[in-house]
Amino acid sequence: MSTPEQHGTRGLHPKSPRPRVRRLAVAAGAFALTLSAALATPLDPTPQRAEAAQGDKVLTVAVAQSVDSLSPFLAVRLVSTSILRLTYEYLTDYDPGDGHPVPGLATRWSFSPDKLTWTYTIRSDATWSDGQKVTAEDAAWTFDKLMTDPAAATANGNFVANFRKVTAPSPTQLVIQLKKPQATMTALDVPIVPEHVWKSVTDFARFGNDKSFPIVGDGPFVLTDYKADSYVRLKANKRFWRGAPKFDQLVFKYYKDQDAAVAALRKGEVSFVAGSPSLTPAQAASLKGEPGIHVNDAPGRRFYALATNPGARAKNGAKFGDGDPSLLDERVRHALFMAVDRTTLVDKVFQGHAVEGQGYIPPRFSTYFWKPSASQELGYDPVKAAQLLDQAGYRKNADGKRVGKDGRPLNYRVLCHATDPNDKAVGQYLKEWWGKLGVGMTLDCLDNVTDPWLAGKYDLAFDGWSVNPDPDFVLSIHTCAALPATPKDTGATDNFICDRTYDGLYARQLTEYDTGKRAALVKQAESRLYDLGYMNVMAYPNAVEAYRTDQIRSIETMPKAAGNIYGQDGYWSWWSAVPADSGGSSGGGSTRVVIGVTAGGVVVLAAAGVFLARRRRTTADDRE
């Protein structure tokens, strides 16, 4: 549960995202990044530094989230999908300026008059890192594997659920036939893999892509080494069609202690720190004004929420878990919602580095941003909250505790991430506010929230996702289709929500190609989700990160005007990063890439942020 960053994303909870848009994956432990210039004193004698060639410029990214898998068919956490985004190209990318679709492996795309057949022109100048050419056959094989092998569909199967057939009539032409129109065809966040390497894999559920290096890819970096819960090392791909990155090596190193990463930044041992998922207000304040350090504080792509267990269930109808049955009453959920003072959380916990939560999509994505009307809003109103609990039959006893007709007091378990200070701080406020209502609360902070989350053994949980320019993924994780097939399976659901009215709105927005009409449907879906009261979006945190200007001369934010560096919808930051001691002008080439125009005269792209691709979630274990 939350991108998560993706998230999500992408996130970000520890469970695996469902197969559909790229998820900002479950946010299990947000990350912190750090970059280290080639000549910087090593943090410790780690293998990646020892193996760097003399004179190599090394950028080290410290992450507070461990990799769940290096298989693009299985990975769902934000750190994992971010690394794989550097290793494998997608059909289309997102412009770093405003997020609109731009060419990736596909240079052009068009759809038929009935909107059921999409044709992509695959670039002829892309090669795999082993020297073989990238072809449309690679893309067709990748999509077909997602369509035919349930294990391969674990992370991205959602993208192809509506596909009827995928073919490659020629090395540069990919044709995808749909069952019904699908508005996210320029937002297929699916890593395309080399068929000649992956066709020998027999069990996609068990193959982790982490035993043989270097890993053959076609992205800006080639993955060369990995040690679980320690580091991932990549080297610049000199064959990359956009141009090679300026840093020779890129290392993602796992840090459990965020303060240690910040201390390393001060000493010049690392170049970049993003936090978990962002720097805390105290850390950011302590770094501002320090010579050689720049603090980036920009609107983020994440939302920070409290998710309610609606009664865990599987598609086969089997119920499991032990969520409190009182939460099945919408009045109870709304009461808890209205007992949360978002203004206080933004001021006291985030200390101004966030804005108050409203709808499900952050305001950064203005096309799809929604907020409740005055009559609909479940704003802070403890008096009304108490009335709702009374109406639901939970009245205070002589001890001031809310009890049901069976005399059982309301006492909720709230699942939180032990590595996230925001969860703990917000949890203390919830305990105080709910306590005044007569509702008990136990904060259950764990290093691993994935297992209880997947098992439905929680009442409420801190959640969060990194939202993509296209919101489809984060919307899809609340559909009935995202539920696990059986209690023993892992679904793509965030927190087991299944509502047929919401499903209908979700299905309609997915088939609508008109941007304005689709946005209206997305907002209706957000409104329905809000009314259900299962997701309380409390804040939209800023992306707060810092880097050393004496080690990094320039690096791309997304959006360019005011955006984040870590956890982007793309590889722009690390691909564009220029070492401080580098001569010449900026990064691996201009990031102001040409937009993709469809063949046949149909322009699929829309104005800034309108018709964009979706990304992965960041869930509880994946928040970015």
User: Would you tell me how many other CB atoms lie within 10 Å of the CB of residue 255?
Assistant: 23
Beta-strand (E) ranges in 171-205? 173-178
Task: Judge whether 468 lies within some domain.
Answer: yes
Residue 529: enclosing H or E segment and its boundaries?
helix 515-532
> Which residues touch 88 (CB under 8 Å, ≥6 apart)?
72, 191, 192, 193, 217, 218, 219
Where does residue 197 fall: left (phi above 0), alpha (psi -120 to 50 degrees), or beta otherwise? alpha
User: Would you tell me how many other CB atoms lie within 10 Å of the CB of residue 376?
Assistant: 11
Peptide linkage before 277 cis (omega within 30 of 0): yes
Task: Judge whether 114 lies within some domain.
Answer: no
Residue 45 CB burial class (10 angstroms; 0-12, 13-18, ≥19): exposed
Beta-strand (E) ranges in 496-622? 535-541, 543-548, 552-554, 578-579
Q: Where are the alpha helices (DSSP H) in 108-252?
A: 136-148, 195-198
> Which pLDDT tens digit goes with each residue over 228-251?
999 999 999 999 999 999 999 999
Q: Are strands 163-170 and 173-178 parallel, antiparallel or unpaired?
A: antiparallel
d(Cα 334, Cα 14) in Å, to the nearest integer? 26
pLDDT of residue 1: 42
Q: Where are the alpha helices (DSSP H) in 392-514?
A: 421-437, 450-454, 472-476, 500-511
Task: Judge whether 417 lies within some domain.
Answer: yes
d(Cα 236, Cα 389) in Å, to the nearest integer? 59
| Residue written as token pair 């990214």 | 61
Task: Judge whether 254 lies within some domain.
Answer: no
Q: Quickly list DSSP for 406-420.
A: T-PBPEEEEEEETT-
d(Cα 532, Cα 461) in Å, to the nearest integer? 16
Task: Judge whether 183 lies within some domain.
Answer: no
Q: Total domain count for the chain?
A: 1
pLDDT of residue 559: 92
User: Would you tell me how many other CB atoms lie within 10 Å of the CB of residue 411?
Assistant: 15
Residue 118: enclosing H or E segment and its boundaries?
strand 117-122
Residue 523: enclosing H or E segment and its boundaries?
helix 515-532
User: For residue 387, what is the domain's CATH number?
Assistant: 3.10.105.10
Q: Are strands 535-541 and 354-356 parallel, antiparallel or unpaired?
A: antiparallel
pLDDT of residue 158: 85
Q: Which residues of 450-480 are buried (b: 16+ CB within 10 A; e: fewer)?
A: bebbbebbbbbbbbbbbbbbbbbbbbbbbbb
> Which residues touch 15 (CB under 8 Å, ≥6 apart)?
1, 26, 76, 450, 453, 454, 490, 619, 620, 621
Residue 382: enclosing H or E segment and its boundaries?
helix 382-391
Report whether 124 contacts 172 (CB < 8 A): yes
Residue 515: enclosing H or E segment and its boundaries?
helix 515-532
Task: Judge whether 547 lies within some domain.
Answer: no
Residues of the chain with pLDDT under 50: 1-50, 584-624
Give the SS3 label for residue 80.
helix
Among 423, 365, 421, smallest CA distance to 563 is for 365
Among 380, 384, 385, smallest CA distance to 439 is for 385
Task: Judge whether 486 lies within some domain.
Answer: yes
Q: Are strands 101-103 and 92-94 parallel, antiparallel or unpaired?
A: antiparallel
pLDDT of residue 337: 97
Task: Judge whether 566 lies within some domain.
Answer: no
> Which residues touch 263 (CB under 8 Å, ≥6 apart)?
none
Domain interval for residue 526: 306-541
d(Cα 77, Cα 277) in Å, to the nearest integer? 13
Beta-strand (E) ranges in 228-313? 231-236, 249-254, 272-273, 293-298, 302-308
